[in-house]
Amino acid sequence: MRNIKLTVEYDGTNYAGWQCQKSKIKTVQETIEKAIQRILQDKIKIIGSGRTDAGVHAQAQIANFKTDSSIPLEKLQKALNAVLPDDIAITKVEEVGLDFHSRFSAKSKVYRYTILNRASRPALLKDRVYFLPHPLNLKLMQKEAKALLGRHNFQSFQAQDKKEKDSIRTIKNLKISRNRDFIYIDIEADGFLYNMVRNIVGALIEIGRGRFPEGSLRKILESRNRKLAGPTVPARGLSLIKVNY
């Protein structure tokens, strides 16, 4: 028995997220499983490091599966990339220990939210960024974001219709930077609640636009009230950048 680890890059625009659904909606996981089954002629179930929502992208999603096949890793990677659609690519294939689990072995994940902050809307990047033509106070956003660092109850930034028993997570790093017209919000945490990143970004944008006063982010966090945190930004600006083990 072998345990195969895949590093997957994908554009999530045309998918209903990573995880297989009971309905016949197309997902990234299902698409990869079908490709593996076609190559290995065996029914394979892959395990992902975590879910990504419909429209969310990944630069380095991690998945693993177990197989009795002796196919060489290089051959498997080439075969998968030959049969997968253009918006999904396997960038790395490794053999790992049998105890490796893409989800439970993960120590942290890094997500990036990309904002295109200029007057004119995008054409080429319309499905990869959130277009925002309004000026943003980046220094204030950076200052306010510090309130989220560390271990907290992030119920205020959890989708109202997706309540988990434990809303406590640890944000290890939160960086807001600008490169010309692009604003990047990078968040590393030991885990994420449903829509947590998109809700945090929504609140940060409200602060940057002057709609929320200074000190708001800490108050929102401590309130544990989703209604105070502002809008959920679109999925298209979000990408899973890295999973740390």
Q: Are residues 53 and 89 in the same domain?
A: yes
Q: What percent of the chain is modeled with pLDDT above 70?
A: 97
pTM summary value: 0.93
Q: Are residues 90 and 22 in the same domain?
A: yes
Given 96, 124, 140, the domain boundary residue is: 96
Is residue 59 in some structural domain? yes
Q: Are residues 122 and 218 in the same domain?
A: yes
pLDDT at 20: 77
Q: Are residues 65 and 114 in the same domain?
A: no
Cα–Cα dist 127/184, whole Å: 16
Average pLDDT (204-220) is 95
Write the CATH number for 27: 3.30.70.580
How many structural domains is the chain composed of?
Answer: 2
Given 62, 96, 130, the domain boundary residue is: 96
Write the CATH number for 168: 3.30.70.660
Catalytic residues: 53
The set of residues, in sequence order, having a beta carbon less than 8 Å from that of 73 and lying 6+ positions away, is 4, 93, 94, 95
Is residue 103 in some structural domain? no
Q: Are residues 71 and 152 in the same domain?
A: no
Cα–Cα dist 93/73, whole Å: 6
The set of residues, in sequence order, having a beta carbon less than 8 Å from that of 213 and lying 6+ positions away, is none
Q: Are residues 73 and 152 in the same domain?
A: no
Q: Give the other-Cβ count within 10 Å of 225's Cβ.
A: 13
Is residue 56 in some structural domain? yes
* Residue 93 in this model has a pLDDT that exceeds 80: yes
Q: Are residues 140 and 180 in the same domain?
A: yes
Q: Are residues 132 and 231 in the same domain?
A: yes
Is residue 195 in some structural domain? yes
Is residue 84 in some structural domain? yes
* Residue 15 in this model has a pLDDT that exceeds 80: yes
Q: Are residues 119 and 240 in the same domain?
A: yes
Q: Are residues 6 and 123 in the same domain?
A: no
Is residue 123 in some structural domain? yes
- Which of the four pLDDT bands, split at 50, 70 and 90, describes residue 75? very high
- Which of the four pLDDT bands, split at 50, 70 and 90, describes residue 163? low
Terminal Cα-to-Cα distance of the chain (whole angstroms): 22
Q: Are residues 231 and 122 in the same domain?
A: yes
> Which of 177, 40, 50, 31 is CA-nearest to residue 110?
50
Is residue 101 in some structural domain? no
The pair phi, psi for residue 158, each rounded to 5°, is -100, 140
pLDDT at 159: 83
Given 71, 96, 121, the domain boundary residue is: 96
Cα–Cα dist 144/131, whole Å: 22
* Residue 79 in this model has a pLDDT that exceeds 90: yes
Which residues span the domain enclosing 85?
2-96
- DSSP-derived secondary structure letter, 234: P
- Which of the four pLDDT bands, split at 50, 70 and 90, describes residue 19? confident
Q: Are residues 150 and 171 in the same domain?
A: yes
Task: Note the pLDDT tens digit of each residue in 28-62.
Answer: 999 999 999 999 999 999 999 998 999 999 999 99
Q: Give the other-Cβ count within 10 Å of 186's Cβ.
A: 17
> Contact 120/80 with Cβ under 8 angstroms?
no
